[in-house]
Structure 1
Amino acid sequence: MGRLVVEQARAAGHHVVIISRSNGVDLTTGAGLDDALRGVDAVIDVTNVVTLKRDVSVRFFEQVTRTLNEGEKRAGVAHHVVLSIVGVDRVDFGYYQGKLRQEELALSSGVPATVLRATQFFEFAGQQLTNLGGPLAVVPRMRTQPVAAAEVAAELLSLAEGPARGLAPDIAGPDVLEMSAMARRVSKAHGPRKLVLGIPLPGAAGKAMRTGALLPTAPGPRGTTTFTEWLTKGP
Structure 2
Amino acid sequence: MRMAVAGGTGWVGKLVVERARAAGHEVVVISRSNGVDLTTGAGLDEALRGVDAVIDVTNIETLSGKTAGAFFETATRTLLAAEERSLVRHHVVLSIVGVDRVDSGYYAAKRLQEKLALDGPIPATVLRATQFHEFAAQMLERVPGPVKIVPSMLTRPVAAADVATELVRLAEGPAQGLATDLAGPEVLKMSAMVRRLAKGKLVLTVPAGRAMAGGGLLPAGDFHRGEITFDEWVAAR
State the TM-score bracket (shorter-chain normalisation): over 0.9
CA RMSD in angstroms comes to: 0.8
What TM-score, normalized by structure 2, do the two folds share? 0.94
Q: Does 1:109 align with 2:116?
A: no
Specify which structure has the higher proportion of strand: 2
Q: State the AA in 1 paired with 2:24.
A: G
Q: CA deviation at 1:27?
A: 0.1
**Candidates 184, 188, 193, aligned match of 1:177:** 188
Alignment match, 2:31: 20
Determine helix, strand or coil for the equivalent of 1:128.
Answer: helix
Determine helix, strand or coil for the equivalent of 2:14.
Answer: helix
Q: State the AA in 1 paired with 2:115.
A: E
The number of aligned residues is: 226
Alignment match, 1:217: 220
**Candidates 39, 51, 57, aligned match of 1:46:** 57
What 5-or-longer segments of structure 1 have no aligned partner?
A: none
Identity fraction in percent: 65
Alignment match, 2:204: 197
What 5-or-longer segments of structure 2 have no aligned partner?
A: 1-11
Deviation >3 Å, runs of 4+: none
Matches for 1:9-158 after TM superposition, within 5 Å:
9-158=20-169
Distance 1:126 1:62 in 2: 28
Distance 1:69 1:148 in 2: 28
Q: State the AA in 1 paired with 2:114.
A: E
- Decide which moves more: 126-135 or 78-87: 126-135
Distance 1:147 1:132 in 2: 22
What TM-score, normalized by structure 1, do the two folds share? 0.95
Determine helix, strand or coil for the equivalent of 1:217.
Answer: coil
Q: CA deviation at 1:194?
A: 2.1
Q: CA deviation at 1:129?
A: 0.7
